[in-house]
Structure 1
Amino acid sequence: MQKLTSGEPAELYLAEDRHLLRQLTLKLLHANTNYDPLAAKLLEREARLLARIDHPNIAAVLDLGLLGSELCMTLQAVGVDGLDDWVEGGQRSQAQLLAVLRQAGQGLAAAHAVGVVHGDLIPARVRIDRLQHVRLVDFERARDLAPEPGAWERQGPPLPIDRNYAAPEARETGRRDQLSDQYSFCVLAWEALTGRRPPSDADHVAGPWAYRREPAYKVLARGLSANPTARWPDMEQLLDALERAGTGRRFF
């Protein structure tokens, strides 16, 4: 098996199904949490949330069971590279970057459509295969916006999030919803397109006139607004605007 991601409470591995001659992704509990009942409960919860999402840009869950003595979630195969590794792995054209980001955004929109918020979208969770097909992974920090009455999932799992990609409201109050996901998407999109972190105040950052007037910059800057209500109403509208901005011109 090839390890794809490291961390707690679980890790991704690329494995081969020798019976059906296909590749699969296995999600196994980290050694430090393998016998932690809460970690097992989170993995089960993640599998249930993923089972609600049927979209080509979300890693589909195939099974949840035991691999030997370890709890294991089996997913369809995902790419070896995360977004950051893929960007650094070669000269990527504007069209390639936009195509990959569009797929990531479409996967996020599909999750939102069934009431699932990813909650901690970072480049390593945007997996890209050799055909440049994108699948989002690692929904253990996801928030269920429509849980059954009284379900413990209502508040989401007590796991830390990556503050480098988290929206201001997620960092300050723990609020995670579709708009905080949108903010995280815009951070990683800005990094992929420019090779730099977005400015702390993207709406009002000082800079050359040519830089400020780029329409794609304005699209992402709106998604990076500190005020959630000033962002795009949803991911679909953001993606439509980003596609229009990138059509027929180079930006950043």
Structure 2
Amino acid sequence: MTGGDAKRIIDGRFELLERLGSGGMGTVWRARDTVLHREVALKEVRSPDPALAAATPHTAHVARERVLREARALARISHPHVVTIHHIVDVGPHPWIVMELLSGDTLQDRIARGALSPVHAARIGRQVLSALRAAHAVGIQHRDVKPANVMLRDDGSAVLTDFGIAALQGATSLTATGELVGSPEYFAPERIRGHDDDPASDLWSLGVTLYVCVEGVSPLRRATSLATLAAVLDEPVPPPVRSGPLAPGHVPAERSVRARAARTVRA
């Protein structure tokens, strides 16, 4: 790697052009593939605390294995609403994933500009649901479905991204005891109770995502992660007021958001 951020070259091939976003799991860059002369997305996954990672080799190992797991998960799926992986660059101090570059906003960005109509939300929901079905069919649970992990292409179609904490059937867990990975307000109740092997938990997360799309607010977010987890387990989901045909009717609270995801098929 040479020069400043705009001139960094990864693996002698990928020139970093622009930082697209960062989070607890790492940074995504817009980059130019100098061999194929096309723009791609590079996902750089590193510890949010490099000093801690250096002092605790296990932490660095887990981060690296999560990158490889995401790549393997994505490689199993070929679907128009799942982000496409091109290549893995396994270089020190951490590997990178080379993916298709999605030029649109995230669903979270879109919601920030105003709530979606029920019809618009249903269209996006059906596309994400089809992506989840493709993942579940090959033994993959996403485990982090939320608006920030849904990209919207320029034509408005949805693409499910960020399989970094996906659960692969037959693979060992990469979550340390007591570690909270993901967004609590989108957790399914069974995940909190320790029953983490049911793909239906992804449908709960999709249902909450659709609620946020049309209502414009997160129904279970609280001031702290612990309070949010308690709300998911014990508090009813507030009745929606803008959901139209996506509204749960008389479905009991714990089933209502999952049912909302299922109703996108009929909307």
Calculate the TM-score normalised by the size of structure 2: 0.71
Per-residue CA deviation, residues 108-160 of structure 1 (Å, 9 max, x unaligned), is 11111111000111211111122213221111211112x2xxxxx33354452
2:220 is aligned with 1:196: no
Counterpart of 1:5 in structure 2 is 21
1:215 deviates by: 3.8
1:82-121 paired onto structure 2 within 5 Å:
82-89=106-113, 92-121=116-145
Alignment match of 1:154 (pick from 147, 153, 172): 172
Counterpart of 1:150 in structure 2 is none
Taking the aligned partners of 2:157 and 2:242, their CA distance within structure 1 comes to 31
Q: Structure 1 segments of 4 or more deviating over 6 A?
A: none
Counterpart of 1:250 in structure 2 is none
Counterpart of 2:36 in structure 1 is 20
2:151 is aligned with 1:127: yes
Determine what percentage of the aligned residue pairs are the same residue: 26
Alignment match of 2:247 (pick from 214, 217, 226): 217
Distance verdict in 2 for CA 1:225–1:17, change over 3 Å: farther
The one-letter amino acid of 1:13's match is W
2:30 is aligned with 1:30: no
Taking the aligned partners of 2:158 and 2:236, their CA distance within structure 1 comes to 29
Distance verdict in 2 for CA 1:191–1:92, change over 3 Å: closer
Segment drifting more, 68-77 vs 90-99: 90-99
Calculate the TM-score normalised by the size of structure 1: 0.75
Give 3-state SS (helix, strand or coil) of 1:74's partner: strand
- Checking the alignment, whether the CA contact within 8 Å between 1:4 and 1:80 is kept in structure 2 is no
2:197 is aligned with 1:173: no
Distance verdict in 2 for CA 1:170–1:79, change over 3 Å: farther
Give ranges in structure 2 of 5+ residues lacking alignment.
Answer: 1-16, 55-59, 221-234
**Corresponding pairs, count:** 225
Give ranges in structure 1 of 5+ residues lacking alignment.
Answer: 148-152, 247-252
Give 3-state SS (helix, strand or coil) of 1:154's partner: coil
1:66-77 paired onto structure 2 within 5 Å:
66=90, 70-77=94-101
Segment drifting more, 83-92 vs 107-116: 83-92
Give 3-state SS (helix, strand or coil) of 2:264's partner: helix
1:231 deviates by: 5.1
Counterpart of 1:53 in structure 2 is 77
- Checking the alignment, whether the CA contact within 8 Å between 1:225 and 1:231 is kept in structure 2 is no
Distance verdict in 2 for CA 1:19–1:131, change over 3 Å: farther
Give 3-state SS (helix, strand or coil) of 1:73's partner: strand
1:212 deviates by: 10
Taking the aligned partners of 1:180 and 1:91, their CA distance within structure 2 comes to 24
1:91 deviates by: 7.5
1:214 deviates by: 4.7
Give 3-state SS (helix, strand or coil) of 1:164's partner: helix
1:4 deviates by: 3.2
1:176 deviates by: 4.4
Distance verdict in 2 for CA 1:174–1:195, change over 3 Å: same
1:213 deviates by: 10
Please tell me the root mean square deviation across aligned C-alpha atoms, in Å: 3.2
Taking the aligned partners of 1:37 and 1:213, their CA distance within structure 2 comes to 44
- Checking the alignment, whether the CA contact within 8 Å between 1:79 and 1:134 is kept in structure 2 is no
Distance verdict in 2 for CA 1:201–1:108, change over 3 Å: same
Counterpart of 2:64 in structure 1 is 40
- Checking the alignment, whether the CA contact within 8 Å between 2:21 and 2:27 is kept in structure 1 is yes
